[in-house]
């Protein structure tokens, strides 16, 4: 794991700001993601629910870079406000799998996924595959604030069911 650079902090802040665009939902976290190439140029952004209510942020950003003009993603970094998921109910591939398949070599996150919706092993899985995972946890409080409605729901009903709220 490398130390975060000033650039890393700046791009991660952009991902966190982007996560505020996610339509609020009791069923998922609001997450933002930014993909940046080796020269420091932004390639794509995404946020939860951007084009499809089930779209995760990383998935939404990666989807913009696939197709006939698929960018070379070797040596690129994805900044995500929350740890990439490893379990999806509504998709065949988790965001962690999509990141690995894209060949992204560095992942920067603010917060590990709390055990609320699914058991998440994003950091461990990515590191095991050789990806440089950098955690800038002092920005995690911003992600917690943006997702405060979920934490409240968890405290009130013990995480048994999040349906019917908001
Ligand atoms: Zn995901």
pLDDT at 53: 86
Q: Indicate the pairing of strand 32-36 with strand 77-82.
A: antiparallel
Which of 116, 146, 121 minimizes the C-alpha distance to 133? 121
Torsion of CA 20, 26, 27, 29, to 10 degrees: 30
Distance 57 CA to ligand 1 centre (A): 7
pLDDT for res 13: 98
**44-83 residue pLDDT tens:** 999 999 988 889 999 999 999 976 666 678 889 999 999 9
Give the distance (Å) from ligand 1 centre to CA of residue 100. 13
For residues 20 and 66, what is the distance between their CA atoms, to the nearest angstrom?
A: 25
Higher-pLDDT residue of 115, 163: 115
Write down the pLDDT at residue 43: 94
pLDDT over threshold 50, residue 6: yes
How much distance in Å is there from the Cα of 30 to the middle of ligand 1? Answer: 11
Candidates 97, 145, 92, 149; CA nearest to 121 is: 97
Instruction: Compute the distance from residue 118 Cα to the ligand 1 centre, in Å.
Output: 11
Residue 114, pLDDT > 70, answer yes
CA of 67 to the centre of ligand 1 (A): 20
- Residue 69 has what pLDDT? 60
Task: Map out the domains of the chain with their CATH numbers.
Answer: 6-157 (3.40.140.10)
Neighbours of 40 (CB within 10 A): 10
State the distance from the centre of ligand 1 to the C-alpha of 107, rounded, in angstroms. Answer: 13
Are the C-beta atoms of 35 and 44 separated by less than 8 Å? yes
Average pLDDT over residues 137-156: 79
Inter-residue contact 33 to 18 (CB < 8 Å): yes
Please give the model's pTM, rounded to 2 decimal places.
0.87
Q: Which listed residue (6, 50, 58, 83) is catalytic?
A: 58
* Active-site residue flag, 58: yes
Q: Quick one: CA torsion of 3, 47, 111, 65, rounded to 10 degrees?
A: -40
């Amino acid at each position: 794991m490398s130390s975060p650079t000033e650039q890393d902090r700046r791009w991660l802040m952009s991902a966190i700001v982007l996560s505020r665009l996610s339509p609020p939902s009791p069923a998922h976290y609001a997450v933002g993601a930014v993909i940046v190439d080796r020269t420091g140029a932004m390639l794509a952004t995404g946020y939860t629910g951007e084009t499809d209510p089930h779209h995760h942020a990383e998935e939404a950003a990666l989807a913009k870079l696939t197709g006939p003009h698929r960018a070379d993603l070797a040596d690129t970094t994805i900044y995500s406000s929350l740890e990439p998921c490893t379990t999806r109910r509504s998709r065949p591939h988790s965001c962690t799998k999509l990141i690995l398949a894209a060949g992204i070599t560095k992942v920067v996150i603010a917060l590990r996924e709390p055990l609320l919706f699914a058991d998440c092993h994003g950091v461990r899985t990515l590191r095991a595959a050789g990806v440089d995972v950098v955690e800038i946890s002092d920005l995690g409080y911003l992600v917690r604030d943006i997702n405060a409605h979920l934490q409240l729901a968890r405290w009130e009903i013990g995480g048994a069911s999040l349906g019917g709220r908001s």
